[in-house]
Amino acid sequence: MSAVPAPKGGACHGVRHVAIIMDGNGRWAKKRHLPRALGHQRGVEAVRRVVRAAGEMGLEAITLYAFSTENWRRPEDEISALMGLLKRFILSDLDEIAGNNVRLKIIGDHSAFAPDVVGLIENALARTAGNTGMALAIALNYGSQDEIARAAAKAAAKGPITPEAISAELDTADLPPLDLLIRTSGEVRLSNFLLWQAAYAEMQFTDVLWPDFGPEQLEDALAEFATRERRFGGR
């Protein structure tokens, strides 16, 4: 595993759980007059760098927005390319993920994908289920509004609907509370991602396109987080 500089202000600057909206692959490719698929390929390389860095920095969980429920509206060839990259990522990186005690988790409904993709995902989940290190949550066919609706329905079936009851049924219920949500590429919106979990999370929006994001940018985000005063609604 590649070396990553030690955090500047202590282990993770008090951050346990970071989520990232990985945006800008297409714009990265367009700026360089390259095929959009190559932008997605470079985006996968950024995932590798950031996941390694997150583990070495001591994060307990990192959640990555990989494929939303709305992404099905994209051209078929682009969806096919994304699925191919997902399969190659699992096949090439699972040994490293498992060997580094990382627990893979999927949020959203990955059963909607092709059977071969589902099989690879299920195998990866089973292989890392007993790991006790950092949780790597990947949002696949995920939409936060759908997640909240599903959680509310499950909570209602068990008893009174309360914030606590809904939280207990969310896809992320077994992860630490979300501390920091980062979006790359200069867009300033949540795009139906972790709406409930982000209620009191700190947010950072960077102009860096996702393929250019790496350990240095992650560390800078954590250091900037450390300068903020979190009040959780209090004074």
Give catalytic residue positions.
23, 71
Query: Angle at Cα 210 formed by Cα 207 and Cα 211, nearest 5°?
Result: 125
Question: What is the b/e burial string over 84-113, where b = at least 16 CB atoms within 10 angstroms of the residue's CB?
Answer: ebbbebbeebbeebbebebbbbbbbbbeeb
* Cα gap 83→196, rounded to integer Å: 27
Residue pair 24/36 in contact (Cβ under 8 Å)? The answer is no
DSSP 46-78: HHHHHHHHHHHHT-SEEEEEEEEGGGGGS-HHH
Long-range contacts formed by 72-77: CB under 8 A, 24+ apart: 72/141
Residue pair 211/28 in contact (Cβ under 8 Å)? The answer is yes
